[in-house]
A and B are shown apart, each in its own frame.
Chain A
Amino acid sequence: MRQTGSVLSVNGVTKRFGGLVAVDNLSFDVAEHEVMGIIGPNGSGKTTMMNMISGSFKPTAGAISMKGARISDLPAQEIARRGVGRTFQLVRLLPSLSVLENVVAGAVFGHRKRWGRDAEDQAHRMLERVGLEAMAYAPISALTYIDQKRLELARVLAGEPEILLLDEWLAGLNPTEMETGIELIHDLRREGRTIILVEHVMDAIRSLCDRCVVMSSGAKIAEGTPEDVLSDREVIRAYLGDDDA
């Protein structure tokens, strides 16, 4: 086991949108160097949970803390500065900036603040890291879908986050791209990064995650190694319905 202590704790977090309970009293811990998967059927509240960790939403109740300090009251930019980096479910790039500048954006204001030459060098390193160095001076419009995803990842990595949130980073990729994508996340895992990922691709979950939290209708219905949770009757029922369980 690579766990050495909890970096992020989610404690009894609930999120209500009017009458809808999107996340219901959810608790889990993420240890350092751990890859934690959040899985569950569509609409089960996974992305809402990610949005609360990154500070896009404030929890209605409960608390999220990072290394013992409460972060759930902080604005998103403060959480980012403390070292939580995220990608978005639908890729978000800065279209009027060049590929390189998109990555520089992550380096300049992020967890470690860089500027000028230093930030550019960091951006080049990150582009190389995700295999996009050749496109450094291209416009955003020249990128294919997986390259856009790579670029977004490079931007996040440039800020040297301590916790990396990947929201369906593999979604929408074709089978070849998927292989490349999984390999890339594997590399990040080997570097010993702490990663929380929301994913639908089961192969990716099996090979990437140390542990999984399974959500259904906003609540946690299982937690454990991918192997255990994916054979859990409750989980199968949530995904496939009562008849198949």
Chain B
Amino acid sequence: MVASCSPNSNSKHADVIIQLALEFLTVINSYDNISIRIGINSGSLIEGVIGKKKFTYDLWGGAVDIASKMESTGIPGSIQITKDTYKLLKTKYNFLEKKVHLNHNNHFVTYLFDLSNNLK
């Protein structure tokens, strides 16, 4: 789990995180039989350190849960992003639209990073 913008505010957070995701994909390419699923979402969250023992820095919020969903419903070897992140990045990169089914009738519009033709 990676977050950009916290705790240091960064206005180009979506761009930074997608660059990192691409780096991760190139890293994982050098290992056989292993691939990664990447899911990205943008929004507001809460950061903090909790507990009495083993306090670790963690993030909470709806945006974090959705990002986790983006990963679990994703395709190995690709980057799946939500509409919110898409809005921040659409001028810079190309994306393919995808639908993710949540329940019987509900579905989510997501976008896959176009690895073959990425720069606009």
Q: Are A and B subunits of one complex?
A: no
Tell me the A residues contacting B by CB distance below 8 Å: none
**A-binding residues in B (CB < 8 A):** none
